[in-house]
A and B are shown apart, each in its own frame.
Chain A
Amino acid sequence: MSSDVSSLVTLAQTEPVFPEIQWAALSPTLIVLGAATLGILVEAFVPRRARYATQLVLSVLALAAAFSAVIVLAVGDYGTSEALIAGAGAIAVDGPALFLQGVLALVALVSVFLFAERRLDPAEHGRPVDSFAAQPAALPGGPAEQQAVRAGWMTTDVFPLLLFATGGMMIFPAANDLLVLFIALEVLSLPLYMLCALARRRRLLSQEAAVKYFLLGAFASAFLLFGIALLYGYAGSLGYARIAAVIGGTPPELDPALAATMGNDALLLIGGAMVLMGLLFKVGAVPFHMWTPDVYQGAPTPVTGFMAAATKVAAFGALLRLLYVVLPGLRWDWEPVLWGVAILSMVAGAVIAITQTDVKRLLAYSSIAHSGFILAGVIAVSPDGVSSALFYLAAYSFVTLGAFAVVTLVRDPQGEATHLSKWAGLGRRSPLLAGVFALFLLAFAGIPLTSGFAGKFAVFRAAADAGAMGLVVVGVAASAIAAFFYVRVIVLMFFSDPQPGGPSVVIPSPLTVSVVGLAAVVTLVLGIAPQYFLDLAGQAGVFVQQAAATAR
Chain B
Amino acid sequence: MIYRIRHTTHFIYDKPAYESHNEVRVAPRTSPNQRCLSFDLEVTPKAAVLAYDDSFKNRVHAISVHPPHDELTIVATSVVERLAPRPSTPLRVPFGEFLAEDAARSAEHFEFLHPSKFVPFSERLRKFFWSARPAPTETVVEYTMRIVRYVRDQFEYEKDKTHVHSGVDDILSAGGGVCQDFAHLTIGLLRLAGVPARYVSGYLAPRAGVASDYADQASHAWIEVLLPGTGWTGFDPTLRSRTTDHHIRIAIGRDYSDVPPLRGVYRSAGSNGEMQVELSIQREGEPEPEVLRAQMQNQSQQ
User: Do A and B truly interact?
Assistant: no
Residues of chain B having any CB pair with chain A under 8 Å? none
